Amino acid sequence: MIKITADSTCDLSPEIINAMDITLAPLHILVDGEEFSDGVDITPADLIRYVEKDGKICKTTSVNVYEYEKIFAELSDKYKAVIHICISSFFSSCYQNAKLAAQKFDNVYVIDSKNLSSGSGHIVYDAALMARDGLEPEDICRMLEETIPRVDASFVINCLDYLHKGGRCSGLDAIGAKLLQIKPCIEVISGKMTVGKKYRGSFERCIEQYVKDKLQDKESIDYSRIFLTHCMCSEETVNKVKELIRHYADFEQIIETSAGCTIASHCGPSTLGILFKRNHHKNL
């Protein structure tokens, strides 16, 4: 058997993690210097409360080499191979650390998802399905590398305050966006985050236009699966997005997942994205 492991940033639901027997390596969340493990002893709701009510500063840090070595050592003797999928190497040193740790093992493979959240989740899910079907580790890795550029991952952010706190936008930009009701779409292209279309108006109105824009190129869409991933959005908003997805596209699976602490720390609450695969490289 082949074991699939991933960074906690893949934002797959507990149901998927358990059903596919995926092991997660939790990133670290620093709250005013106090360290927590993503998804283990801190949740996005906890993080938002620390920021909003307590005024604390929250940051994320990578899984270190020793932690990866410990995970790989425990699993490599039990399985034919271990395939670990990391958050994009442009966002974190997790990939570099996992590669260093894997050098001590002959049967550990490390994949740079060049993505984050359930964009990485697509790669993890695909890997788990192929492992369950009995494919060889080299074939799984090759097919994952072919899939990675086809993942279309994006989010619409309701407020730029968290990006500002993390040093990813200026205070002037954050204030201007709030005054003008601008909701930027953050896209992942070639492993890097870029600002896409800037929507204007209420969050609900912007989300409606965003879903329409993302799903209008029907011929390029891989309809096997779409993740609707969000950070503390209302049930009403989520249900509306599900209706819009069904209206514009006919996916075999619409899977709702909650964004983890990494997305929460950088983007804040009321962040929502639809993440799916295309039939060609997204950046072409």
Same domain, 32 and 52: yes
What mean pLDDT is predicted for residues 11-23?
A: 97
Residues 6+ away with beta carbon under 8 Å from 178: 159, 160
Residues 6+ away with beta carbon under 8 Å from 210: 154, 156, 185, 197, 199, 274
pLDDT value of residue 284: 44
- Domain count of the chain? 2
Same domain, 29 and 156: no
Banded pLDDT at 283 (limits 50, 70, 90): low
* Pairwise CA distance, residues 119 & 25, whole Å: 17
Residue 270: give the domain boundaries. 150-278
Q: Is residue 83 pLDDT above 70, yes or no?
A: yes
Does residue 56 lie within any of the structural domains? yes
* Pairwise CA distance, residues 228 & 276, whole Å: 9
Provide the H-helix boundaries in the chain: 14-19, 44-52, 65-76, 94-102, 117-132, 137-147, 161-165, 171-179, 203-215, 235-248, 261-267
Banded pLDDT at 266 (limits 50, 70, 90): confident
CATH code of the domain in which 29 resides: 3.40.50.10170
pLDDT value of residue 179: 42
Same domain, 32 and 170: no
Q: What percent of the chain has pLDDT over 90?
A: 79
Same domain, 207 and 217: yes
Banded pLDDT at 77 (limits 50, 70, 90): very high
Does residue 283 lie within any of the structural domains? no
pLDDT value of residue 174: 39
Residues 6+ away with beta carbon under 8 Å from 55: none
CATH code of the domain in which 187 resides: 3.30.1180.10
Q: Is residue 164 pLDDT above 50, yes or no?
A: no
* β-strands 254-258, 108-112 pairing: unpaired
Same domain, 86 and 172: no
Q: Is residue 84 pLDDT above 80, yes or no?
A: yes
Same domain, 170 and 110: no
Q: Is residue 171 pLDDT above 60, yes or no?
A: no
pLDDT value of residue 180: 45
| CA angle 229–233–235, rounded 5-degree value | 100
Taking each helix axis from N to C end, the angle separating 203-215 and 235-248, rounded to the nearest 10 degrees, works out to: 30
Q: What are phi and psi of 150, to 5 degrees?
A: -90, -5
Tens digit of each residue's pLDDT (9 = 90 or more) over 187-224 = 999 999 888 899 999 999 999 999 999 999 999 999 99
Q: Are 227 and 122 in contact (CB under 8 A)?
A: yes
Same domain, 10 and 143: yes
Same domain, 200 and 234: yes
Same domain, 164 and 82: no
Which region among 32-36, 112-116, 251-255 has the lowest average model confidence (pLDDT)?
Answer: 32-36
pLDDT value of residue 166: 53
Residues 6+ away with beta carbon under 8 Å from 14: none
Give the DSSP H or E segment for 86.
strand 81-86
Burial class (CB in 10 A: 0-12, 13-18, 19+), 172: exposed
Same domain, 86 and 177: no
pLDDT value of residue 56: 87
What mean pLDDT is predicted for residues 39-50?
A: 93
Q: Are 34 and 7 in contact (CB under 8 A)?
A: no
The type of residue at 139 is: D
pLDDT value of residue 73: 98
Does residue 104 lie within any of the structural domains? yes
